[in-house]
Amino acid sequence: MKFDKTIVILGPTASGKTGVSIEIAKKIGGEIISADSRAIYQGMEIGTAAPSIEEQAGVPHYGIGIVHPDQRFTVADWKQFAETKIAEIRARGKIPMVVGGTGLYIDALIYDYHFTDEKKLDQSDRTEMCANYLTIGIKWSPEQLRERITQRADKLFVQDLYTETEKLVEQYNWNTQAMKSNIYQFAWGYLQGEYNLEEAKKLFVLDDWHLAKRQLTWFKRNKNIKWLPLAEVESYVLKCIQDEQGR
């Protein structure tokens, strides 16, 4: 299939980005670039709910587990990485899809941030800049999102997470940026007996909820996002591609 825009699928944590994007990619010959500032790190796949090889279902994924947690990896690094991958995917005749919840990363890409000491980009350029991107946000009501976060916590707090946490604790310093404020601190607190499983989950759900709110605040300023309920995302994307084809 041909489509010259890059598809961007964003949304807060637990909004269902991973699932839909893989479904869409399978249908359109898409390849996925993760825009997730934590899934970037190696050894944090379980805790960041990154898709496993099986879940990826043969769809190529980029940007997951590409640096060690104690390595410095900035927005600028990510932007460059994403741009390179987009060019490569396109050269192969496939459709690039950027999927994630890190607003800064996505804006850096679609608004073409320049990382210099100079002033901010002129806001008036914004609409024009992202003409090359089809940006879709997954919309949930606060209640629904909270429920999803809670349910996901139940799926996340299992043996695999504890194993991963122990490995991370053993290998890296708690003070690295990568380890800051994520599920591992709660998993570790539970493993250390600071609180029971129920409390650990509760703390994580609250933390994740706060994250979701901040993500949403960030996304709000991007007026070019097409917000859709999860169930409508796939058909919308397919329709956009068909319309493009018809020209």
- Minimum CB separation of residue 2 from RNA in Å reads 31
- Minimum CB separation of residue 25 from RNA in Å reads 19
Contact residues for RNA, defined by CB under 7 A: 13, 36-40, 47-49, 72-78, 101-105, 108, 111, 113-116, 120-121, 142, 176-178, 180-183, 206-211, 213-215, 217-218, 220-221
**CA-only gyration radius of the chain, Å:** 18
- Minimum CB separation of residue 220 from RNA in Å reads 6
Dihedral sign for Cα 47, 169, 61, 240, please.
positive
CA 246, CA 199: separation in Å to the nearest integer?
A: 54
Q: Could you tell me the two tokens for 133?
A: 């991107």
- Minimum CB separation of residue 102 from RNA in Å reads 4
Amino acid letter, residue 149:
I
Cβ-contact 111, 123 below 8 angstroms:
no
* Cβ-based nearer residue to RNA, 66 or 75: 75
- Minimum CB separation of residue 234 from RNA in Å reads 23
* Cβ-based nearer residue to RNA, 2 or 115: 115
* Cβ-based nearer residue to RNA, 2 or 210: 210
**Residue 20 φ/ψ, nearest 5 degrees:** -65, -40
> Helix (H, G, I), strand (E, B), or coil: what is residue 124?
helix
* Cβ-based nearer residue to RNA, 52 or 242: 52
Cβ-contact 164, 39 below 8 angstroms:
no
* Cβ-based nearer residue to RNA, 207 or 234: 207
* Cβ-based nearer residue to RNA, 95 or 106: 106
- Minimum CB separation of residue 247 from RNA in Å reads 32
Going by C-alpha positions, the residue among 215, 224, 228 that lies closest to residue 104 is 215
Cβ-contact 11, 135 below 8 angstroms:
no
